[in-house]
Amino acid sequence: MTKCDIKNYLENIYNVPVGAVRTRIQFGLERSDSREVDVLIIFRWGRGSNKKRNHRNQKIKQPDYKVAYVQLMEVVCQWSANIPSIPPTFTAAGEQLSVVPSFRYLGSILSEDNTIDNEVQNRIKQASAAFGRLRRRVFQNKNLHLRTKVCVYQAICITTLLYSCEAGVTYSRHIRALEQFHIRSLQRILGITWRDRVPHSEVLSKTNCRSIEATITQHQLRWLGHVVRMPSNRLPHRVLYGQLHHGRRSAGGQKKRYKDQLKTALKKCRIRPEALEDAAADRNTWRQLCRDGTQMLEEERTARRQERRLRRNTPTVAVATATTYTCPTCNRICGSRIGLFSHQRTHR
């Protein structure tokens, strides 16, 4: 299983329940099971895989070998929440492997609920550790130019923070957590705190950086164009265009799929989905289109934040009303509506 496989197949690409006996996916995957499955982790063995399996079977006998042995599994399934949870059983070299809610593989954390909540926290932790190691030597070094500090930050911290973000199904809570770390790190590089009351848009402008939302959107669109240009026999291309023959999504609010994430990214960058394949056919054209779209996204995001800040800081002036309350019987003018109501009781 390669890093490319784990990056692109572990998210909610197919999040539909499939009640299947001999369920067949369009790109050729077959399974025989009477239960429902929510998530499929798909990968393919390369040449010499049997020899590698035997080597891993010998290595796993060592007591200090704590890595989860996922290479044994051709397809890993999470059972649907609609039925009682029965942990699957896997054995290697005669020993039963423990079933855990999450584990680390190729630098990423895989969770049983197929979300990236744990992965986002892990990315923030790793990026924060990298920032802390370079804080005195680089970011607080007065002999280095600001541009040099920002280049080091983007090359090390941002790369660590957004590792494998191309295939992540992000919600607003994930973007918010990543943005908080991003702004906090840039503030430390600039030597300012929240007490200085410097807007986030100004922090990004001073450091010539983009927001995390725009960066993730560009990475996902670039990866989408790369998968579209792949030959039709490549596994990433087949997974992206594959469809389930049976099953349907339940009514009500649905989990966000990877395809929904891509449609949202295309909409943000003003790219029509029906023109995706023609636009992504040329690498340079697609790269420029993604760059222009994310630049437009960043400008609109900055304009919205400035408008909200201006509306929040502008004092509201109460407009005096010229409403008069006149008694229809004696034409007496009262000061309020309740006063008029009390006065009318005297005419009864």
For residue range 252-305, what is the model confidence (pLDDT) as tens digits?
A: 778 888 889 999 999 999 999 888 999 999 999 999 999 999 999 999 999 999
How far apart (Å, rounded) are the C-alpha atoms in residues 282 and 234? 18
What is the domain range of residue 83? Answer: 1-110
Look up residue 36 and give its DSSP letter.
E
How far apart (Å, rounded) are the C-alpha atoms in residues 233 and 38? 25
How far apart (Å, rounded) are the C-alpha atoms in residues 224 and 118? 24
Is the dihedral angle over the CA atoms 35, 41, 47, 52 positive or is it negative?
negative
In this structure, is residue 299 part of a structural domain? no
pTM: 0.70
In this structure, is residue 330 part of a structural domain? no
Phi, psi of 41 (to 5 degrees): -105, 115
- In tens, the pLDDT along 290-308 reads 999 999 999 999 999 999 9
In this structure, is residue 185 part of a structural domain? no
For the record, the structure tokens of 155 come out as: 């090359």
How far apart (Å, rounded) are the C-alpha atoms in residues 220 and 261? 9
How far apart (Å, rounded) are the C-alpha atoms in residues 218 and 293? 8
How far apart (Å, rounded) are the C-alpha atoms in residues 110 and 56? 21
In this structure, is residue 60 part of a structural domain? yes
In this structure, is residue 273 part of a structural domain? no
**What pLDDT is recorded for position 84?**
52
User: Which residue reads 């992206």 in tokens?
Assistant: 240
How far apart (Å, rounded) are the C-alpha atoms in residues 50 and 142? 56
- In tens, the pLDDT along 193-251 reads 989 999 999 999 999 999 999 999 999 999 999 999 999 889 888 888 888 777 777 77
- In tens, the pLDDT along 90-138 reads 676 677 777 777 778 778 888 877 889 999 999 999 999 999 999 999 9
Task: Please count the structural domains in the chain.
Answer: 1
User: Which residue reads 């009390």 in tokens?
Assistant: 342
DSSP sequence for 238-288: HHHH--BSS--PPSSS-PPPHHHHHHHHHHHTT--GGGHHHHHTSHHHHHH
How far apart (Å, rounded) are the C-alpha atoms in residues 120 and 108? 10
Reduced to 3 states (helix: H, G, I; strand: E, B; else coil), residue 30 is strand
For the record, the structure tokens of 308 come out as: 């909200």
In this structure, is residue 54 part of a structural domain? yes
